[in-house]
């Protein structure tokens, strides 16, 4: 009887030690955002998210009529709120876009363009948990016309022109260096003596 209990505890101990070693072997690097997710993980995540999108969103059509005015508003909005991560042209090639896990996708890519309007809206309104993509929706989805304008812009990204991108640059948030330059310029224009700060990149 005593022998049996002893063997039982030895087995439990071996399992504990074994699983700790396996965990220590697997864990290092597990939470690093440095790596890129493998293709199967990207596909699986996209499929699961598609299943997790409430079906009435999948069927929604954009309530905002397509117009150059709606597109212009969306460009300004995107340049101010989204381009830090997604870049003005939607390519995801921003300063930090490629450093997320998963990285910021190219919004012009077929996988994104194949999504339903309502699914894009859902992503913008509710964000994507466990990723860098924040939720932007306030209040009721039915009232969120700004996000619907952004859906028009995402559809337009494959055809965006250099002129449109140049215009968006004026709406990008300023860095500290740019703000200091701007302040010095304002002081100079109001007649004060100023030393212009150096511009670093």
Q: Distance between CA 146 and CA 77 in Å, rounded?
A: 8
Instruction: Select the residue interacting with ligand HEC from 60, 70, 79, 82 (CB under 6 A).
Output: 82
Q: Which of residues 93-132 bind ligand HEC (CB under 6 A)?
A: 100, 102, 104-105, 107, 112, 120, 123-124, 128, 131-132
**Taking a C-beta distance cutoff of 8 angstroms, is the pair 63, 148 a contact?**
yes
Which residues, other chains included, contact 161 with Cβ-Cβ below 8 Å and sequence gap of 6+?
none
Q: Distance between CA 86 and CA 160 in Å, rounded?
A: 14
Q: Which of 34, 153, 166, 16 is nearest to 82 (CA)?
A: 153
60 forms part of the interface with ligand HEC (CB under 6 A): no
| Distance in Å, CB of 133 to ligand HEC, minimum | 3
Q: Which is nearer to ligand HEC, 108 or 194 (CB)?
A: 108
167: cis peptide before it, omega within 30°?
no
Q: Which of residues 142-171 bind ligand HEC (CB under 6 A)?
A: 150, 154
Residue numbers at the binding site for ligand HEC (CB under 6 A): 81-82, 84-86, 100, 102, 104-105, 107, 112, 120, 123-124, 128, 131-134, 136, 150, 154
């Amino acid at each position: 009887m005593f022998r049996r209990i002893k063997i039982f505890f030895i087995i439990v101990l071996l399992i504990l030690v074994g699983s700790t070693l396996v965990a220590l072997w697997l864990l290092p690097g597990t939470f690093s955002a440095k790596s890129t997710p493998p293709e199967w993980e990207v596909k699986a995540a996209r499929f699961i998210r598609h299943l997790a999108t409430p079906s009435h969103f999948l069927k929604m059509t954009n309530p905002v009529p397509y117009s150059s005015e709606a597109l212009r508003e969306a460009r300004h909005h995107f340049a101010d709120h989204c381009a830090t991560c997604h870049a003005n042209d939607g390519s995801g090639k921003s300063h930090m876009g490629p450093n997320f896990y998963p990285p910021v996708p190219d919004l012009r890519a077929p996988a994104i363009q194949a999504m339903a309007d309502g699914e894009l809206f859902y992503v913008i309104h509710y964000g994507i948990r466990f990723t860098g993509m924040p939720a932007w929706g306030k209040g009721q989805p039915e009232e969120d016309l700004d996000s619907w304008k952004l859906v028009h812009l995402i559809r337009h990204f494959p055809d965006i022109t250099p002129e449109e991108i140049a215009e968006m640059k004026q709406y990008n948030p300023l860095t500290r260096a740019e703000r200091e330059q701007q302040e010095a310029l304002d002081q100079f224009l109001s007649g004060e003596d100023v030393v212009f700060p150096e511009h670093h990149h």
